[in-house]
Chains A and B, each alone.
Chain A
Amino acid sequence: MALTIKQQFSSPGGILKFLIKHNTIFIFIVLVIFSALISDVFFTSVNLSNLLKQVSGIGIISIGMLIVILTGGIDLSVGSMVALLAVTFAILVNTVILPLAIILTIIIGFSLGSVAGYLVAFQKMAPFIATLALMTIARGLGFIYSKGSPITFKTPGGEFMSNFANNSTLGIPNIAIVFFLIVIGAMVMLRYNVFGRLVIAIGSNEEASRLSGIKVNKYKFLVYAISGALAATAAIIVASRTNLGSPNMGMAWELDAIAAVVIGGASLNGGKGTAINTLMGVLILGLIGNILNLLNVPSYPQQVVKGGIIIFAVLLQKFESK
């Protein structure tokens, strides 16, 4: 029902309903306030820009993950793809001119994603299996091409990228700007473009989509390819930040990306989820890590807290659907 915010507040229990409906943003705000109260370092520009730098890589692959999940699929290969593509980018930076290195890396990412897309859309392979296989293949290839050790940037192009990735514009880290642009792009595509409409339609009822004359296979193929291209973008950013490409990068990132998408209220059955909420999911995960670091909580308890927050967020969404 097209109730305005005011109407929602004025109906009985309205505030609670409003909070449950917008639980992702609500959790985010609570976490920000909590962080600011508990640590005086939190609201410093150094800390905030570190936080944004840390989440940008995972954030970018989370957007790809969201688009895949909207069709009812899943992409487990993105973490390993980041490793393979970071190594690829490092090799390319050291051999060809920078713009070509960037374009080639993204094309390779798109192509690798296309393999998953082909298997899922045209060979009717279960997305979990197809991308699980690609996950180990990509990780393996990363180690093969790098011979097991990190490849450092050695050219002026590499230096340029490293500067870009570690600097800020108007106080916002450049790589976070890239991330935000991708979020905005995804928002626009999902909301105002036929592509987004059809991706959501396919995820909410694949058979009805097929019988409506929608090219279901084409779109299922495309979402994995796009996820691959976004993994490439994340790889370029992550490699540039550290000035090297390593086959150990992106370890278990696919799980963080899934967590971010789910915290953002998307349904793993497909058809439900938005880019802005995924952004919130990414920031929530990042915030938890950040504040626990500021409080000097060691990393193992951090994992426990992270898991707890995921459960809490999804439980809140249960209320929403009731």
Chain B
Amino acid sequence: MKTSESEYRVEMTGISKSFGVVSVLENVNLKVKPGEIHALLGENGAGKSTLVKILSGVHQKDSGKITLNGQEINPKNTHEGQVLGISVVYQELSLVNDLSVAENIYLHKLGASKFWMNWKKITEDAQELIDSLGFEIDAAARVRDLSIVQKQVVEIAKALSEDTKVLVLDEPTTVFDPTDIKKLFDNLFKLKAKGISIIYISHHLDEIFKIADSVTVLRDGVDTGSMAVADTDADGVIRLMIGRELKDLYPPRNVQVGEVPVFEVKNLTAKDTLVHDVSFSVRPGEILGIAGLGGSGRTETAKLIFGAHKKKSGTMLLNGKEIKTNTPVCAVGHQIGFVSEDRKEEGVFLPLSIRRNISVTNFTGISGKLGFINTDNEYKNVVGLIDKLSIKAPSSEIDVKNLSGGNQQKVALAKWLSVDSKVIFIDEPTRGVDVGAKVEIYNLINEVAEKGVGVVVISSDMPEIMGISDRILVMYKGTIYGELPKDKFSEENILRYSIGKQLK
């Protein structure tokens, strides 16, 4: 038995865990060798994050055994996990906004150090660490001022700032554009060469096949198999993930796109962001994609139109009539909808029930003159939407914080589906969402368009934006740099526009 113990760095066997009455993991096994990139796959809610959190000490297992280098371990909190050399970069960023990059990276060590801090050394060390990752971030900058991509890099640097033996990355690339993803992968290969074990959680199968050595698949809290990546392919993995064959990720559309634009923007320029001279139009029934690198101003453009950011100049026309949207309240009044990319902070109300989340945008159908809510109608509406979106939850009274990412995203969408919109902006519709739920979300987007709504989808996921859009606008440095009709869709074309080059 001695030899088999030394073969694996991490060995989790027979792990079970339940929260209250909900069983999240049942008898799950995960084995990772030193110097291996091990992909952990599964739909949202399959239990990937919980498994990782048990490894790092956030949660405690109900039963099972964890060994690290053959020694049994039982981390009771994240600090114990860190001391053992287990570092996790979570999907939800956990940085302190008001501290500098360097302070964040060494935060865990600040408490343990001597009374006085050597800020100069800490900042230099942090800078060195970030430079070694190949990203340009000032270690003295405040985290609040960083872009979401840079924050993610700081998270990774933080995980590497200690003597890491096992590095867990939970959906690290969702905010990254292709160039950044390549940099990240190069770093992972370097770490792998150093003998660090990497557990990599992702929904992007293409990534897995690019970098991972082996893979473990979870489905509904049970592991459905572990294998070397060389022994399988995308279809095989998807079968294990969802238990069925997946035919059409991007469902076909039969929509009559209108001729006259429902919504037009002319020379829109922001007061406080980089967005300038943005002009475009969207027709009823059309799905318009907006692509571009992180930081090119896609989200900012949507927020500008929605009234969440201040405008400097430009005009907007809804059905040919000029409108003003100085606040989100005005935008909603003009039947413009906006689904944020940051669902936890800006999209859903985590501590509130599904019912309360869905009803919040629209009380007109369910309340009387004095604002009293007709709960029967409300339940009918909410249960209808839960069914229609196949939100997986035991009842409409479950708090949204207990749902998986994909189901949370569906709640965020449902919020807007209960309102009649003329134009709807959907920012990163499937970020952190599993394959099965993705198809359901695409179907929903199609259905919305079929009703004659102008749909604008912002996405960093290239196959996605090409799969669902009728037309793609590409942003570069705060303005629209190029437009691609359907027959010109290709990753290369999008990328060329994204970096400010012309098409070949």
Contact = CB atoms under 8 A, between A and B. Distances in A.
A27 B137 CA distance: 54
Contacts of A302: none
Contacts, number: 84
Interface stretch (A60-68, A135-143, A202-210, A288-296): A202-210
A194 B328 contact: no
A223 to B, nearest CB: 15
A195 interface: yes
A193 B348 contact: no
A1 B375 CA distance: 19
B352 A201 contact: yes
Interface stretch (A145-153, A212-220, A242-250): A212-220
A244 to B, nearest CB: 38
A198 B360 contact: yes
B332 interface: yes
B390 interface: no
Contact of A197 (B331, B356, B394): B356
Contacts of A209: 349, 360
A194 B370 CA distance: 9
Nearest to A272: B351
A212 B339 CA distance: 9
Interface residues of B, number: 36
A272 to B, nearest CB: 6
A113 interface: no
B99 interface: no
Contacts of A215: 329
A207 B346 contact: yes
Given A208-B346, A208-B347, A271-B352, A197 B360 contact: yes
Most buried by B among A11, A204, A213: A213
A5 interface: no
A211 B332 CA distance: 9
A158 to B, nearest CB: 34
B356 A200 contact: yes
A14 B329 CA distance: 45
B189 interface: no
A: contact size bracket: 20 to 34
A2 interface: yes
A204 B394 contact: no
A319 interface: no
B367 to A, nearest CB: 5
B92 interface: no
Contact of B351 (A2, A204, A214): A204
B397 interface: yes
A205 B356 contact: no
Contacts of B352: 200-201, 204, 271
A137 to B, nearest CB: 31
Nearest to B367: A194
A127 B456 CA distance: 38
Given A204-B349, A208-B348, A1 B371 contact: no
B308 interface: yes
B360 A201 contact: yes
B349 A208 contact: yes
A208 B345 contact: yes
B397 A194 contact: no
A192 interface: yes
Most buried by A among B340, B346, B348, B350: B346
B373 A193 contact: yes
B120 to A, nearest CB: 34
B409 interface: no
Interface string A17-42: 00000000000000000000000000
Contact of A205 (B20, B333, B350): B350
Nearest to A11: B21
Contacts of B340: 208, 211
A17 to B, nearest CB: 9
Interface in B335-383: 338, 340, 345-352, 356, 359-361, 363, 367, 370-373, 375
Contacts of A272: 351
B360 A212 contact: yes
14 contacts: A1-B21, A2-B397, A11-B21, A192-B375, A193-B373, A194-B373, A205-B346, A208-B346, A208-B347, A208-B348, A209-B360, A210-B328, A214-B360, A215-B329
Interface of B: 20-22, 306, 308, 328-329, 331-333, 338, 340, 345-352, 356, 359-361, 363, 367, 370-373, 375, 394-395, 397-398, 415
Q: Which 3 A-B pairs have the closest CB atoms?
A: A213-B332, A194-B371, A204-B349
